[in-house]
Chains A and B, each alone.
Chain A
Amino acid sequence: MINYLKSENYRLLHKKSIYMTSGICLFLITSAALVLYFFQQSDSNFPYGTSIFLYSNVISSGIIIMIVGFLFNTALTGKDASVMKQAVSFGISRNTIFWSKLIVTLSYFLLLCLIGLILVIGLGESLFVSEEASIRNFVAASFNMLPIALGGFVMIHALKMLKVSDIYIIIFLFFLLIFSGDLLRWLLGSFSQLNEFYQYAPSTLLNDNLMSFMDQSAQFDFRFWVTGIVISLVFLAIGMMRFTNKNID
């Protein structure tokens, strides 16, 4: 598995798209902060020139973060994934392939998230007036988003490995992160035992997280981890079972 991990790492580090995606993400974060700073400087009544507003843009960007995750995962599971048939014929197991591609792409995705987080905090604290407890709130809210992002990434990976079309994956992602709460509330609303279940839906959790952050009351919430772990385990199980028995030719 180590050799396969190393080879996938070699492949990823030689992909221009990874550097471009990372560069664009960091550029957009910096640009957003600079635009807010510019307006704050030119208009003293500009209400959004605050670090809280900058941070809130990150907390409300779950879907964008997952699309970046999708692009990172696609780097090793996209069209040229057909090359994996060479690995299979060399006796490398499907499990190794499945896990290696997940580990490598997830590692770089998390690294980019960390760099982005540090950049946002750096820009927020250096360009705008630091507000009390805003960093603590931002870190807590970001930490709550982590399991949902992990679950979403695992879902993307499992579906990509099963060759589900990109458009369906994006639609599924939108559903999960934007509409899942409303749908669960509508479906389970009439069942007294289950009518609170929607509170564990990713979209509900992300909305709650944003509200808590805006109230400056964000704190660790186990519901994010329950949902993130359940999504991850379900898609890992589906992905592994289906991929292990899949023809790769």
Chain B
Amino acid sequence: MSESNGDRAPEELDSELLTAYLDGELSESETIAVERRLASDSGFRSQMQDMQNAWDMLDALPAVKPDVAFVRTTVEMAIAGRQRSGISAWGPRIIGALAMLGLPLTLFAVAFFATRESIEQPERELLGELPVIENYDRYSRVFSDNDPEQGIHFLNSIYERGLFSEVEELFPVDSEDETEEAVVDLVATTVPPSADMIQDRSDRLTSMTDQQREDLFAKKQKFEALPQETQTAIRDFHNLLSNDPDRDRLWESLVSYYDWLKTLRASQRTGLLDSPIEKRLGKIREITRLQAEQAFGRLGATKLPVEDAEAFYGWYDFAITCYNPEIRKRAGKVFSDIRSKKGLPILEDDVSRVMSGPIGQLVDFLMRQDRENFGQLIAAKANETQYGMRELENQLTRSSLLILDGLEVDEKRELVLRWIEVANKTRFPIQTTKLKAFYETLPVVTRDKLDNMHPDDWYESLTRLYWEAENIVKSAEPAEEEEFRRFLRENGLDSDFEIDDFDEAPY
């Protein structure tokens, strides 16, 4: 307290005094003075308590655990760096000696060649192994024990089990932009790159920003700091991948998996990478399911409490399966009614083709064209069965029941329908291509804002914008039934319906 207090506000001085008191930074006499004032001044005491409570809350910050390999890779990198610097240490010594001899011209020449070497030599090395360097961090996430075959088996399993289908939409789309180019460049390192390929890679390097080039060189250094056997295993994996007849689908699995890893917490990631393949695949299934449920709980204007997402999802999933025949029958009827209202002939073949369409599209169709009855089918009529609304209520927690209890029957049904809409978005998610196309239509400012977000927030915000835009379009143009028209198109029925027909239809 010996510093000059100048003309600072008394609150500011009090705050500093209390901070120093709470941090134990006051002298004994200063501490006594503060404590006396605390005893007599309730405002001062309350200020101190609020400050301390806020400070105590910091204990709730989540603990962060580094990757299990952190210590090993750090120590290895440090030692590898020492070995490299041991070799290059001659450079400055020679330059020093030359400078001492007063040979400026020689110094210039050494500097010139040294600079040229430092830029060109690594670039030359980089061109030869560009795909390996660019992708080694992806590669190193799919296999362990330096067993590249294991990685290929893992990617095949991901593809065959369709592991990311439920949460594909949670990924950032960044990597997909690279995919096409990278697949083209999947050439085994055992094959000498052609002149064209070298030229392409060189062009790629040239078109990079300084920062991107710097990042790439840092990546190269990190790769070179790995133990020799790890480097060899990564190269072998690249070669296996490049030579695999299914390399495109394996590549897709690799990109999906790597992008998905970014959506995990560090602890989840660490646990996964350490697990043997079968266990890892099981864990992926488990986590993706949970993510889908959480995303489901987050979406939508009326939030279903997250803790009930699983119960609701399960109930709805079952209802869809249980009422599959009714849904198909109803879709056929609604389809016939539409045609009838248009004065179009009702062909049995067309109706049965509609009825045998994908269940997701039929649900979507009914939710748009026959929402009320669909609700009756799933929720209200279901009172008659053991899987109906009552059963749902039995499964929900108090938080959801509190929401439902305050509603009239109609309102309750409407709310469940809205939850169903949300469930549809998760069960039948937005296609990545649609989301990507939507992203492209956004103003630069909005895209900039989105791109500065964490991938989780990025996805959440983008989907929110997407649904908002969708709802605006729908309310402005109720007949814009893009989904349904696509469905008709895919089933060869689009010629029966003109866009104008939809616009006029009173649905």
- The yes or no verdict on A and B being binding partners is no
Residues on B close to A: CB < 8 A? none
